[in-house]
Amino acid sequence: MLAVNDHQTPALSQLRPKMELADVFRLYASAYRNCNRLPLAHLKVMRAIEVCRTAALGGHLQQCDHCAYQRPAYNSCRNRHCPKCQSLCKARWLEDRKADLLPVGYFHMVFTLTHELNPLVLSNKKVLLDLLFKAVSETLLEFGRKNLGGKIGLIAVLHTWDQTLLDHFHLHCLIPAGALCLDQSRWIAARDNFLFSVRALSKVYRGKMLDLLQQANDKDRLKFVGRCEGLTDTDHFKRWVERLREKKWVVYAKKPFSNPERVLDYLGRYTHRVAISNNRIISIEEGKVSFQYRDRKTEKKMRRMTLRAEEFIRRFLLHVLPASFMRIRHYGILANRTKKEELGCCRKLLADEGERPKVVNKSSKELMEEAGGVDVWVCPECKVGRMIIISELPAELVKEVEREGCQGPRMDSS
């Protein structure tokens, strides 16, 4: 479904990076498609990014109410893998989450899937990533019951990449510092600087994930292709799983937040990210793409990496998610089914009598102005008037508008 970009394009176009992911696809996607057999999902993502906010999707014609300057505002693709279409989605999501905040500290934990599982995940994304969410959520909820004596809440956000676009599957989890007693009679506060032992978490998480993996194989839910073909033998698969039980799995606890005010700003960095943002792309030339990445092995210094265009595209497509796959999920007292009742109970127990933020259906304009501090409707020509929509531009007409030089000579509004 296309989305009209009339509220975003004017302001964002002024801040447009010199190079974009879309430019990579426009230059090299055709050759990549000709040389590789790609699943339909990959083809759809590539095409969506290529045509996003271009004449191909149509849009609206805007005119200044003061100087009559005109310009087209193109539709966006709204594909969740497109870096240009995430700002508004993130703003809407964060606006909706304001009403869910509790007046407590928050913990941020990261659960990483051991890299030996990466080839299997890439050929079984939906099954394995669902198991990852299940293993992590069950582990945290179990620790909440046993260690705190109540029901905790968590938001889990899936990331599938590292800074160099290679496969790196992990969940970022945001957890309120405490639990609702099982009989809902009291709020059980956690310590300010400690929630659960990451060493204990990693062992339970590893056990749950591997048990779920074995069950999935027993039910013939897994496909074994490429580097995983040897795992089709049942005994070989069991031995492989047992070897994974001997490895150390990573659970990382970041510094907790002392108050909820900073939580959403921080969470916004993770919820609607794509594998690479446009501002990381440095250059596209001679069949190569250069981008910057943060080297975590050397005090997080920014470095430059250059890849051949086909390798850059291959790495980006590693992170295309299955259709309708939910990469942000809520559990415990934050689960969508029960959060209204249970969060209300938590607030009463915490004596949070302050007025709760109300969910307001803000327009795209309002959200973008709040997020970027830019009035997207000010005329870029005279800086005085306001841009108003005067007509729709179907895709076949937008090209005519461009040929007539809408950005140059002003057009007759009649």
Give residue-wise pLDDT tens across range 294-351: 887 776 789 999 999 999 999 999 999 999 999 999 999 999 999 999 999 999 999 8
Question: What are the φ and ψ backbone dihedral angles of 400, each rounded to 5 degrees?
Answer: -65, -40
CA nearest neighbour of 316 among 181, 160, 91 = 160
Measured N-to-C along each axis, helices 364-372 and 86-97 cross at an angle, to the nearest 10 degrees, of: 90
What band does 255 get if pLDDT is binned at 50, 70 and 90?
confident
d(CA 261, CA 176): 13
Give pLDDT, residue 86: 77
pLDDT (tens digit, 9 = 90+) per residue, 173-185?
999 999 999 999 9
pLDDT tops 60 at residue 284: yes
Dihedral, CA atoms, 279, 311, 307, 78, nearest 10 degrees? Answer: -10
Give pLDDT, residue 232: 93
pLDDT tops 50 at residue 266: yes
**Residue 120, token pair as written in the block:** 């299997």
pLDDT (tens digit, 9 = 90+) per residue, 154-213?
999 999 999 999 999 999 999 999 999 999 999 999 998 899 999 999 999 999 999 999
Ranges of each domain in the chain: 9-83+363-403, 102-275+318-349
d(CA 165, CA 119): 15
Whole-structure pTM value: 0.85
8 Å CB contact between 195 and 127: no
d(CA 82, CA 90): 13
d(CA 340, CA 338): 6
**Residue 47, token pair as written in the block:** 């095409």
pLDDT tops 70 at residue 403: no
Give pLDDT, residue 10: 41
pLDDT tops 80 at residue 52: yes
* Chain centroid, CA 304 distance in Å: 23
pLDDT tops 70 at residue 367: no
Question: Between 101 and 405, where is the model more confident?
Answer: 101
pLDDT (tens digit, 9 = 90+) per residue, 315-331?
999 999 999 999 999 99
Q: Which residues contact 408 (CB under 8 A, 6 or more apart)?
A: none
In the chain, the percentage of residues whose pLDDT exceeds 90 is 62
d(CA 65, CA 79): 32
pLDDT (tens digit, 9 = 90+) per residue, 86-141?
777 777 777 777 788 898 989 999 999 999 999 999 999 999 999 999 999 999 99
pLDDT tops 60 at residue 1: no
Query: Mean pLDDT across the stretch 72-89?
Result: 85
8 Å CB contact between 102 and 176: yes
Question: Between 222 and 355, where is the model more confident?
Answer: 222
